Amino acid sequence: MNVYADHAATTPMRACAKEAMLEALEDFGNPSSIHSAGRLAAMRMESARKEVAELLNCRPSEIYFTSGGTEADNWALRAAKYGTGDVVASAFEHHAIIHTLEAMERENARRAELVKPERDGIIDPERVRREVSQYTNLVTIMAANNEVGTIQPIEEIGREIRKAGGKSTVFHTDAVQAVGHIPVDVQKMGIDMLSLSAHKFGGPRGVGALYCRTGISLDPLLFGGGQERGHRPGTENTPGIVAMAVAMREACENMGRAAAKTRELRDRLIRRIREISGSYIHGSLEKRLPGNINCSFAGVEGEAVVIMLDLAGVCVSSGSACTSGTGEPSHALTAMGLSRRDAYGAIRITLAETNTEAEVDYIADQLAEIVRKLRG
């Protein structure tokens, strides 16, 4: 049996997104051209912008299309003109944030304070508040963690930042794993900037967006033409943008039903995993994305389990897709207080509503057998 259970790494494209993408590929005009083909492409792109803005509850003029989550994260951190003060981030951000902060520290000695998550993978808003001062220009805390799937109290964190920081403290959230899976409303949650990526909710890879609240002045990351109102040069990926908006609409509209089914499958698998002796599930089970299981088995290496599951036709990952293959234990799990050895043992299984009970049972059977063999 072949089972895809690595939806946090990427998702298959939704049929509606494929269809919209094909249509936009046929109408291949450059949205900057003033002729009718260009105007058609521009019109499609602007209605996609409206759609994305509506789903996040912001204005279309606050949405900038990017090449994905990594670019949106880099852009938010590097190019927002928020002065030269300190930055506060969580210690288990995606590498698109952590490595950008490291580069910024090397380049201009900007200090980045990293707030550790609690053992359950949740960031305590109070701990964020303690790090924020009037000299803090930027706080970036992810909406949901990509490895353990824990959902962060973004609204509360936003409130604490407002209390502790100056008026100019900007609150960015990397919502790449959250958008399309849990409700995200930038007004309600007090978010100033937000990154999202299409391929995490059934859109194509290589396209995403940055939301930037009106009033925050944003320098371009790249230099070139005047696209995206002079902020992001380069001919726009119209088919990708159109497909992203369609996928986002479907993901958000079906969110409740999809989450309920996915959660049921996940809990069925968790019950089976718990039957395996020496198994651990990492991170809060309540405040968690519907499809995520991050677990380990005493005395067993995560990478070995991933390879053996793959031989059995099951795709999962050890750590995030970006960390796996580096030989390093997950920085997210070690930040949560796991020892390096325990972190080495972790695997991430991420399900979607398209998985079935039979697939989940197959994963459980294979896992039990693989752990038994590896321990032997």
Q: Give min distance, CB of 174 to ligand PLP, in A.
A: 5
66 scored as a contact of ligand PLP (CB under 6 A): no
Contact string (CB under 6 A) for ligand PLP, positions 88-117, x = contact: ------x-x---------------------
Site for ligand PLP in 225-284 (CB under 6 A): none
Amino acid 8 reads: A
Alpha helices in the chain (DSSP H): 15-26, 36-56, 69-79, 95-108, 125-131, 154-164, 227-230, 238-253, 255-274, 302-311, 331-335, 340-344, 357-375
104: Cα separation from own chain's centroid: 21
355 scored as a contact of ligand PLP (CB under 6 A): no
User: Structure tokens of 301?
Assistant: 């290496």
Quickly list DSSP for 286-335. Answer: SSB-TTEEEEEETT--HHHHHHHHHHTTEE-BSS-TTTTTSSPPPHHHHH
Residue 149 near residue 180, CB atoms below 8 Å: no
Stretch that binds ligand PLP, among 24-32, 68-76, 128-136, 152-160 (CB under 6 A): 68-76
Alpha-carbon gap, residue 162 to 164, rounded angstroms: 6
Count of C-beta atoms within a 10 Å radius of residue 38:
14
Site for ligand PLP in 163-202 (CB under 6 A): 174, 176-177, 197
Q: Is 252 a catalytic residue?
A: no
Q: Give min distance, CB of 348 to ligand PLP, in A.
A: 11
68 scored as a contact of ligand PLP (CB under 6 A): yes
Considering the complex, state which of residue 137 and residue 177 has its C-beta at the smaller distance from ligand PLP: 177
Stretch that binds ligand PLP, among 65-73, 130-138, 240-248, 353-361 (CB under 6 A): 65-73
Q: Give min distance, CB of 145 to ligand PLP, in A.
A: 7
Q: Give min distance, CB of 122 to ligand PLP, in A.
A: 16
Q: Give min distance, CB of 230 to ligand PLP, in A.
A: 23
Contact string (CB under 6 A) for ligand PLP, positions 120-149, x = contact: ----------------------x---x---
* Among 172, 236, 229, 241, CA closest to 204: 241
- In 202-221, which positions are buried (b, 16+ CB within 10 angstroms) versus exposed (e)? bbbeebbbbbbbeebebeeb
Which residues in this chain contact ligand PLP in the complex, by CB under 6 A?
68-70, 73, 94, 96, 142, 146, 174, 176-177, 197, 208, 321
Q: Which residues are catalytic?
A: 322
